[in-house]
Amino acid sequence: MKMIAIIVPCFNEEKRMDISRWQTIVNRFAGCHWVFVNDGSSDNTSLLINKLTGQNVYQLDLPTNHGKGNAIRAGLLYIINPSPLTLIAELDFSRIGYIDSDGAFDTLDIELLLTAAEEKIELVPAYNVVIGSRVKLAGRQIERKRARHYLGRLISTFVCQGWEEAPYDTQSGFKIFGLDSSFREAVKTPFRTSWFFDIELLLRLDASDSLRIWEVPLMKWEDIGESSIKVSKYLSICRQIITIRSLVKFRSKGGKI
């Protein structure tokens, strides 16, 4: 039976990660395998994750902080290239993805994305990426802090200009991919940016002419955490915007990422 694995990156989540909610999620979606990556946390995140029980739950502790993108990549490689001594090495995965640990996603939307991935990637092999999109439509409860929303749209518009395959919500923290040779190749090397690793991964798939995106509007989503970005982060973000924009332009001219 083909299976699906979802990576959950965690960094200093002791005070905001609802572990009882996550236990409910892993129990409800027992057919999905969940890999919680502790990204070199300095608090008790590792002990918190360790409280989760179930044969479909795995914990990967990174000794140092890698940043969200490369922590997710570590989790992806944990599935793609498992140690032969682990139980996970005996499983056959056809889909793989990641979701934020902060609880912004509703449980019903997790079911919606998992179902869409099975239908679009597995049953009708016309798509190989399924993305949860935080687009505010009638009947949806998409609660985003205004400043973060508009900043995100401005950055996305600038960065993705000229890229025809770009989804509406490039930064959504819930994506599922078909686990094929193109995806394996796309995650072989570390990401160059930490804020825009999602775009890098999609560009790498696009460079191999294997990017077919199906975007799913979420039913419910709520911003979790701080609404502002620390001043010390601005310079780093600006540099990464320039880097990712140059990659988009390079790819739009036919270059290989």
Q: At 228, which CATH number?
A: 3.90.550.10
Identify whether 180 is part of a domain. Answer: yes
Q: Which two tokens stand for residue 56?
A: 């479909």
Residue 44 pLDDT grade (very low, low, confident, very high; cuts 50, 70, 90): very high
Identify whether 66 is part of a domain. Answer: yes
Identify whether 257 is part of a domain. Answer: no
* pTM beyond 0.75, yes or no: yes
Distance of CA 72 to the CA centre of its chain: 7
pLDDT at 82 over 80: yes
Alpha-carbon distance of 120 to 117, in angstroms, equals 5
Per the structure, how many domains does the chain have? 1
Alpha-carbon distance of 12 to 65, in angstroms, equals 10
Structural domain including 221 reads 3-252
Give the pLDDT score at 1.
57
Identify whether 117 is part of a domain. Answer: yes
Residue 157 pLDDT grade (very low, low, confident, very high; cuts 50, 70, 90): confident
| 44 secondary structure, DSSP code | S
Identify whether 122 is part of a domain. Answer: yes
Alpha-carbon distance of 242 to 232, in angstroms, equals 17
